[in-house]
Every structure is written in C-alpha cells, then in structure tokens.
Structure 1
Amino acid sequence: MKRHEALHPLSHHHHHTLVMAQQLKNADQKGSIQKMTRDVIDFWKYDGEDHFRDEEEVLLPLFAQYQAVDIPEIREMLIQHVQIRSYVQEIRGGQCKDRQIFRNLGELLQKHVRLEERVIFPMIEQTIPENYLYQANGRFHRDSYSGF
C-alpha cells in the first residue's frame, strides 16, 4: 500500500509490530515464556510506547484540527491502544504463566496495525495538508531497528 512519505516512520514501526505480532501469535510450548516476556518488554520500551505517543500526541491532535475525531474508527484505535497497554502491563508484571496472553496480544497488534494502515492513515492523508504532515514527521521517534 502506497503511504505518504511523511507517514513512513509510523508505517515502518507497523512493519516491526507485525513481525512481533506473528511471533506472539505463534507462541507455543517450545518458546520460553521468559524470552517472550523480554521480547514484549523490549518492543514496548524501544518502540511501542513512543509509537503510541507519536499517534496520540502528534498525529491525532493535528488530524483534529481538520476533522472531528469523535468517529468510530478513531475510538476503536484508541480503545486498542488501551487494550495493548493493558496486555503489556500484565506481561511486565512477570506473573504470566499462560501463553494465551501472548497469542491474544499478537492478534490484537495485528488487528490494530491493519486498522491504522487500511483505515486511519488513508483518512489522515486525505485530510491533513501535505506541508503539515511533513512537519509532524519531524516529531516522530525513530525506531530501534533501523533508525527510520
């Protein structure tokens, strides 16, 4: 899917999120719960948390200047942010003995990225003037995988 270049950093984060989601969805008896826990904590610490801030503190407030954000798609996006944070906090607590939480988080991450890439970002690209999208880009964090 062709994405406006100002949103490339966020889409790049989404790619890494989908990789993590696939690993979590495939959580089986062979993988170590400790390793999966470390992977989730590192993912969140180095990219996930900042990515959500980019969307909530930079992108959505900018979008709100041009269109009402009290719409079902934005509500769903933000609800998913809360649910993902909840899973991460539960996993961080270190008491996870059931692999199902990792599979649930993987499913939700995949669903979330699809919502943003297929619905939210196209709305944003159509609504926000290009020069303001470029200005927002300068405020996005760079991911830990590539620095993009």
Structure 2
Amino acid sequence: MKRHEALVPLSHHHHHGLVLAQKLQKTEEKDKFREIMKDIEDFWENDGEAHFREEEEILLPLYACYAKIEEDEDIEKMLIDHTVIRGLIVKLRKLERFDYKVFQELGEKLHDHIRMEERVIFPKIESAVPDKELYKVEGKFHIDSYSGK
C-alpha cells in the first residue's frame, strides 16, 4: 500500500515493531530473558515510546482538525492500545525472571495494533487530511533508529 510521504517515517517504525512482535510471539521458555528484554528496551527507548507520542501529539491533533475523532471507535482503540502496550512494557521491566506469556502478549498486541494503524487509521487520515496539511508535519517524526529514515 502506498503511504503518504509524510507518514512514511511512522510506517518505518511500524516495520521494526512488527519484526519485534514476531520475535516475541515465537518466544519460548528456553529463550534468553535478558536478550529479549534488551531487544524490547532498544525498540522502546529508540523508537516505540517516541512513536506513540508523535502519533498522539502531532498526527491525531492534525486529524482532529478534519474529522470527529471523538466519535471514531478506531481512534479510541488506537489510544487504548497505546496505553496497554505501555503497561506491558512497565510490567516486563518489573519482571525478575522469564515469563514467556507476557512476551507473547506484548508481541500479539503490538502486531495487531500496528496492522490496525496501517490498514485502518492511516488510510482514514490520508483521506481526511489535505495533502498540503500532511506535508506540514513531514519532518516532525523522529528518524527510525534501524533504517535511518
């Protein structure tokens, strides 16, 4: 699916989130806890946390200028997902030993959330917000730590 240029950085973040989600969904008890936690921390510290903030503080306020987001169940789900994912990160940081079910839960939630944003939220935004307004937010999203884009 062709993405508006201004949203490409967010889609780059999503790609790396999906890679992590897939890894987490396949996690088993024999896998190394510290290595997996390092992957989660690297993703969250370098991209995930800022990505959520940018969607909430830049993208959604722009979208709200052109759509009634308070009546949009998909936006409500998006924001609830952000909170749940943040909560799972906090929960994982408090774990003293491996709990593969929590890793799998985070992987599943991250995967489903990203797919929903790419397939539902972003197309809504692209159809509602005029191109010239989307271009105004271009460059306001952080550069992906993996690809540099």
| Interval of TM-score (by shorter of Structure 1 and Structure 2) | over 0.9
Q: Which ranges of structure 1 fall in alignment gaps of 5 or more residues?
A: none
Which string of whole-angstrom CA distances, capped at 9 and with x for unpartnered residues, describes residues 8-50 of structure 1?
A: 1001111111000000001013310111111111110000001
Work out the CA distance in 1 between the residues paired with 2:30 and 2:95: 19
1:40 aligns with 2:32: no
**Does the Cα contact within 8 Å between 1:37 and 1:94 map onto a contact in 2?**
no
- Give the match for residue 140 of structure 1: 141
Q: Which ranges of structure 2 fall in alignment gaps of 5 or more residues?
A: none
Which string of whole-angstrom CA distances, capped at 9 and with x for unpartnered residues, describes residues 122-148 of structure 1?
A: 000001111111111221011100111
**Does the Cα contact within 8 Å between 2:29 and 2:99 map onto a contact in 1?**
no
- Give the match for residue 62 of structure 1: 62
**SS of equivalent residue, structure 2 residue 69:** coil
- Give the match for residue 31 of structure 1: 31
* Total equivalences in the alignment: 148
Identity %: 51
TM-score for the superposition, normalised by structure 1: 0.96
Query: Which residues of 2 match residues 1-148 of structure 1 at below 5 A?
Result: 1-70=1-70, 71-148=72-149
Report the CA distance between 1:96 and its aligned residue. Answer: 4.6
Following TM superposition, the consecutive aligned residue runs of length 4 or more in structure 1 with deviations greater than 6 angstroms are none
For 1:115, the aligned partner's letter is M
For 1:133, the aligned partner's letter is L
- Aligned Cα root-mean-square deviation (Å): 1.0
